[in-house]
Amino acid sequence: MYIVDNYLAAIVFCFITMLCWGSWGNTQKLSSKEWPFQLFYWDYALGVFLMTVAIAFTMGSMGDQGRSFIPDLQQADGRYIFYALLGGVIFNLANLLLVIAIDIAGMAIAFPIGIGLALVLGVVTNYIDNPEGNPWLLSSGVLFVVFAIVLDAMAYRQILEKVKSDSRKGIIISLLAGIAMGFFYKYVALSMSMDFVTPEAGKLTPYSALVIFSVGLFLSNFAFNTINMYRPISGTPVTYKDYFVQGSTKLHIIGILGGAIWGLGMSFNIIASEQAGPAIAYGLGQGATMVAALWGVFIWKELKGLPKSKNWLLILMFTFFVIGIGLIIYSKEI
């Protein structure tokens, strides 16, 4: 299987994760006027699964290092398969809440609040399980991200009275999504051997862990998203029949593309986690918050109601994100 063998390459992989995780939400925005997000989410879940399977049979099955995909599945212990499945279930709950928050409040708000909180919790929980990097620099980087989240919330407060009346609900849902999102990654990391070249018997390699994770995501969708279809937090109820009758080929492709983009980012992040460490890899990947905020502010104009006198909030927010990400990267070098 393909293995990242140095920290610099791991950082590059994590930056690709950042771009993917911060950009997939655009596919939801593109389809939202024609396609309820509950139905979009089925295609998204399918896209994640298809991407992880494709990577498992390519990158995960090439070369002579580590264990290739199929042999690794055959030797896996049930406990570690359960951890990877659980990671997928927790992520799916968190991400569905995030998608709902995007539908209510927009990318510029849901991502910085939800994913920013997930970054903090995820770095802490993964560092406890697998300490990698200088804890002071890592915690300082996380602290700067927290400052950026606060500034984003302050910017949103300036226009809150001008937007939809249920936007406060979007903020609350973003916070709930962030709390759940902060814990899924640790279970995927627990399912894997952190030595990819000579992986521990019974544990998974990153490629098989990713496929099992995506299976957990997809199967749990029958519970979580079905409830959201018939008893939606936001939007109108939809049925399974609507998925097949209302959806055009274009809309299905957009949803699958969104999932594939996210799945590519998740795959590259997990592949990089041996060299970077789970805490740093996750923290860098969740710099997606800044990428999503850039999309939301400059492309979707979600903060166009912000007074010009308050633009310093956005400038400072992005500055703090950059500093925070830089400190997280540098924490492994010390």
The pLDDT tens digits along the chain (334 residues) read 999 999 999 999 999 999 999 898 899 888 877 888 899 999 999 999 999 999 999 999 998 899 999 999 999 999 999 999 999 999 999 989 987 887 787 666 777 788 778 888 999 999 998 898 899 999 999 899 888 877 877 777 676 555 555 667 888 898 999 999 999 999 999 999 999 999 999 999 999 999 999 999 999 999 999 999 999 987 789 999 999 998 999 999 999 999 999 999 999 999 999 999 999 999 888 878 778 778 877 877 777 778 888 889 889 988 998 899 889 889 986 5
Task: Check residue 153 and report its DSSP letter.
Answer: H
Q: How far apart are CA 252 and CA 236, in angstroms?
A: 19
Q: How far apart are CA 282 and CA 266, in angstroms?
A: 9
**Which amino acid is residue 23, in one-letter code?**
S
Nearest 5 degrees, angle CA 151-CA 320-CA 288? 90
Taking alpha carbons only, the member of 111, 110, 114, 126 closest to residue 282 is 126
Question: Which residue has tokens 């049930």?
Answer: 78
For residue 328, is it left (φ>0), alpha (ψ between -120 and 50) or beta? alpha
Nearest 5 degrees, angle CA 251-CA 91-CA 236? 45
Under 8 Å CB-to-CB from 234, ≥6 apart: which residues? 37, 100, 103, 104, 166, 169
**Which amino acid is residue 10, in one-letter code?**
A
Here the tokens at position 202 are 């019974």
DSSP 156-200: HHHHGGGS-TTHHHHHHHHHHHHHHHHHHHHHHHHHB-S-SSSPP
- Alpha-helical regions (H) of the chain: 7-23, 25-31, 37-57, 69-75, 78-105, 107-110, 116-129, 135-159, 167-191, 206-230, 240-246, 249-276, 278-285, 288-294, 311-330
Judged by DSSP in three states, 72 sits in helix
Q: How far apart are CA 210 and CA 273, in angstroms?
A: 13
Taking alpha carbons only, the member of 215, 202, 179, 180 closest to residue 84 is 215
Under 8 Å CB-to-CB from 309, ≥6 apart: which residues? none
Instruction: Check residue 107 and give its pLDDT.
Output: 63
Instruction: Check residue 55 and give its pLDDT.
Output: 98
Residues 149, 287 contacting (CB under 8 angstroms): no
Q: How far apart are CA 269 and CA 284, in angstroms?
A: 9
Q: How far apart are CA 69 and CA 85, in angstroms?
A: 16
